[in-house]
């Protein structure tokens, strides 16, 4: 029997980009990648699980930081090659820099300007202090 | 001199995923891809220009449909491999199916369910009627 997972168009590496959007603030928090297993686990657990391309392993968001993402809604786009998660972001922090979202570099007059306050020192988040 | 374009981490195909978010409704409209030239043209023109992977050419969003995206703000994420555009979506329609956004497939009990109304018949949008 064909699974909903079979309807996703995985790329050559077996991945799709996944966009996480905060259900409350509606900000786009981050873009990460999912393989079949991570998407399956995301739905089974109700918490975002990504595929870390750099570490080449499943990455349960928040496993180190505590900043888990509870999935409120999961969507796919018209050509089935991108996923959208509406999430409740634990701690209100998605980024490893301690900011709400990873998109804190804003283009202004041909320069990337760092915006958005650091809500919590990453050294505290990752227990190095 | 190093350009802001050099600070983007392009993938092996020279691309980055770009997320378009509606500046008014705040919905995530679509995920598409940009190469260096499309990002440069997006900023120069103030309207979203993507790279069509299927057609292998620059794709000025709205060139056929009229549904151009005026860029209100452009951001990059912490590892510089994803772009976020806040846009004013002409016609309030981003999807080629005539819907506001491409993410109209919602997972419900292990099924992708089609949601979101068709605001305009695609045959009318693309002049086939």
From chain B residues 82-111, the ones with a CB under 8 A of any chain A CB are 82, 84, 95-97, 99, 102-107, 110-111
Tell me the pLDDT band of B108, cut-offs 50, 70 and 90: very high
Residues A72 and A87 sit within 8 Å (Cβ to Cβ): yes
Residue A100 burial by Cβ neighbours in a 10 Å radius (0-12, 13-18, 19+) = buried
Q: How far apart are CA B48 and CA B60, in angstroms?
A: 6
Sign of dihedral through CA atoms B56, B98, B26, A25?
negative
* Average pLDDT of the residues in A75-86: 98
Residue B62, Ramachandran bin (φ over 0: left; ψ between -120 and 50: alpha; else beta): left
* Average pLDDT of the residues in B5-31: 97
Chain B nearest-CA distance from A25, in A, is: 10
Question: What is the percentage of chain A residues whose pLDDT exceeds 90?
Answer: 96
Tell me the pLDDT band of B129, cut-offs 50, 70 and 90: low
pLDDT at A129: 59
Closest residue in chain B to residue A104, using alpha carbons only: B77
* Average pLDDT of the residues in A87-110: 97
Tell me the sheet residues that pair with A47: A70
pLDDT at B128: 67
Residue B4 pLDDT exceeds 80:
yes
- HSE of A64, CA atoms in CB hemisphere, 13 A: 13
Sign of dihedral through CA atoms B40, B41, B46, B47?
negative
What mean pLDDT value characterizes chain A? Answer: 96
pLDDT at B127: 83
pLDDT at A2: 82
Residue A119 pLDDT exceeds 70:
yes
Q: Do B17 and A31 touch (CB under 8 A)?
A: yes
Residue B7 pLDDT exceeds 70:
yes
Assess A118–B contact: CB distance below 8 Å, yes or no.
no
Residue A1 pLDDT exceeds 90:
no
Tell me the pLDDT band of B102, cut-offs 50, 70 and 90: very high
Per-residue pLDDT of B49-63, as tens digits, reads 999 999 999 999 999
Closest residue in chain B to residue A8, using alpha carbons only: B112
Per-residue pLDDT of A27-76, as tens digits, reads 999 999 999 999 999 999 999 999 999 999 999 999 999 999 999 999 99
Sign of dihedral through CA atoms B48, B118, A80, A55?
positive
Residues B106 and B112 sit within 8 Å (Cβ to Cβ): yes
DSSP annotation string for A77-94: -TTS--EEEEEEEGGG--
């Amino acid at each position: 029997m064909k699974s909903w997972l079979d309807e996703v168009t995985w790329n050559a590496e077996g991945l799709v980009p996944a966009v996480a959007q905060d259900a409350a603030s509606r900000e786009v928090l981050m873009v990460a990648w999912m393989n079949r297993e991570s998407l399956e686990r995301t739905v089974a657990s109700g918490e975002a699980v990504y595929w870390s391309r750099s570490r080449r392993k499943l990455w349960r968001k928040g496993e180190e930081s505590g900043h888990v993402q509870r999935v409120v809604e999961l969507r796919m786009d018209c050509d089935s090659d991108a996923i959208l998660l509406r999430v409740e972001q634990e701690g209100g922090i998605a980024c490893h820099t301690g900011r709400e979202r990873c998109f804190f570099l804003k283009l202004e007059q041909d320069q990337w300007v760092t915006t958005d306050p650091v809500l919590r020192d990453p050294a505290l988040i990752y227990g190095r202090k």
